[in-house]
Amino acid sequence: MPNALTRRLEEYTALTDADCRELAQLAAQSTLTIGPRRDLIHEGDAPRSVYLILDGWACQYRTLPDGRRQIVDFAIPGDLCDLNLFILDRMDHSIGALTRLRVAEIGRDILHGVITTFPNITTALWWQELVSKSIHREWIVNVGQRTAFERIAHLFCEMFLRLESVGLTDGFSCDFPPTQADLADATGLTAVHVNRTIQELRRRGLVILDRQRLTIPDLGALQAAGLFNAGYLHHWRLNRHALINGVTDGGRGPDGPKLRAIA
């Protein structure tokens, strides 16, 4: 596998050979492997490095005092976990491994060096940061407005496309390690209800999910079921497509009419 980070960042900006070499080096410099269900870093810790996911899945999550847990994002190879360290003194969330996880640890000073000498990379990093913020917004919408059925469908679409953008899909299929309990924590549902909802998705032929393997026979249909619009991922390859089904509101402000056709 070539560097997933390179692939990810090229989604946003053109990189030179020198940029790519630098990225490859970053990924190789100081790697770290941790087992599934362990924390990479924990809420309240002082961040010491940025983590680049090389292999496996992680999740960012926050817990409430009584133990309720909300996953706020999944992280897959090529994802860079929070540039927070430059800025924030304390982690406001945890990062946990869902699978065996291989990450590159990039120290503050090294990253700082990269940023001052490789402007393309810097641009791409901030780009990625803004995109991941956009993904957060979409998660708020997902949890706040969509039905259980739509939420799960939406999440499957999102993760499939994100995996696809780093070359981790295989036709209509991809690995999909989160358990139903994980999906529950990501969607604000219970595991029981996630289970029933996935069964409904299966019954309708929208997904095949077995042994950590997800297959989406008809992505368009699943997108429709999840009210999914890829625009928020800001992948340029998808953008043309996104512009077609992009705009959903006529511009009447926060109190406009509630019913409106898809463009």
Q: Which residues, numbered 161-180, are part of the site for DNA (CB under 7 A)?
A: 179-180
Site membership for a copy of itself, residue 149 (CB under 8 A)? no
- Which phi-psi region, left, alpha or beta, contains residue 212 (left: φ > 0; alpha: ψ -120 to 50)? left
Task: Tell me how far, at minimum, the Cβ of 52 lies from DNA, in Å.
Answer: 25
Using CA atoms, how far apart are residues 247 and 249, in angstroms rounded to an integer?
6
Site membership for DNA, residue 147 (CB under 7 A)? yes
196 binds, among DNA, a copy of itself, none (CB under 5 to 8 A by kind): DNA
Binding to DNA, residues 31-90 (CB under 7 A): 37
Site membership for DNA, residue 211 (CB under 7 A)? yes
Binding to a copy of itself, residues 82-141 (CB under 8 A): 82-84, 86-90, 92-94, 96-98, 123, 126-127, 129-134, 136-141
In one letter, which amino acid is 113?
A: G
Locate 206 and state its tokens: 């929208």
Site membership for a copy of itself, residue 232 (CB under 8 A)? yes
Task: Count residues binding DNA (CB under 7 A).
Answer: 19
Using CA atoms, how far apart are residues 98 and 182, in angstroms rounded to an integer?
9
Locate 185 and state its tokens: 């924590």
In one letter, which amino acid is 124?
A: A
Minimal CA–CA distance to 24: which of 15, 37, 12, 33? 15
Locate 124 and state its tokens: 């791409």
Only one of the segments 165-173, 193-201, 206-214, 234-242 lies at the binding site for a copy of itself (rule: CB under 8 A); that segment is 234-242
Site membership for a copy of itself, residue 171 (CB under 8 A)? no
170 binds, among a copy of itself, DNA, none (CB under 5 to 8 A by kind): none
Site membership for DNA, residue 192 (CB under 7 A)? yes
Site membership for a copy of itself, residue 61 (CB under 8 A)? yes
Site membership for DNA, residue 148 (CB under 7 A)? yes
* CB distance 3 to 95 below 8 Å: no
Site membership for a copy of itself, residue 165 (CB under 8 A)? no
H-assigned helices in 89-229: 108-117, 119-145, 148-165, 180-187, 191-203, 219-225
Site membership for DNA, residue 199 (CB under 7 A)? yes
How far are the Cα atoms of 107, 122, 263 from residue 116, in angstroms, in the given order? 14, 8, 43
Q: Which is nearer to a copy of itself, 219 or 242 (CB)?
A: 242
Using CA atoms, how far apart are residues 44 and 46, in angstroms rounded to an integer?
7
SS3 81: strand
Site membership for a copy of itself, residue 23 (CB under 8 A)? no
Residues that bind DNA (CB under 7 A): 37, 147-149, 179-181, 188-193, 195-196, 198-199, 211, 255
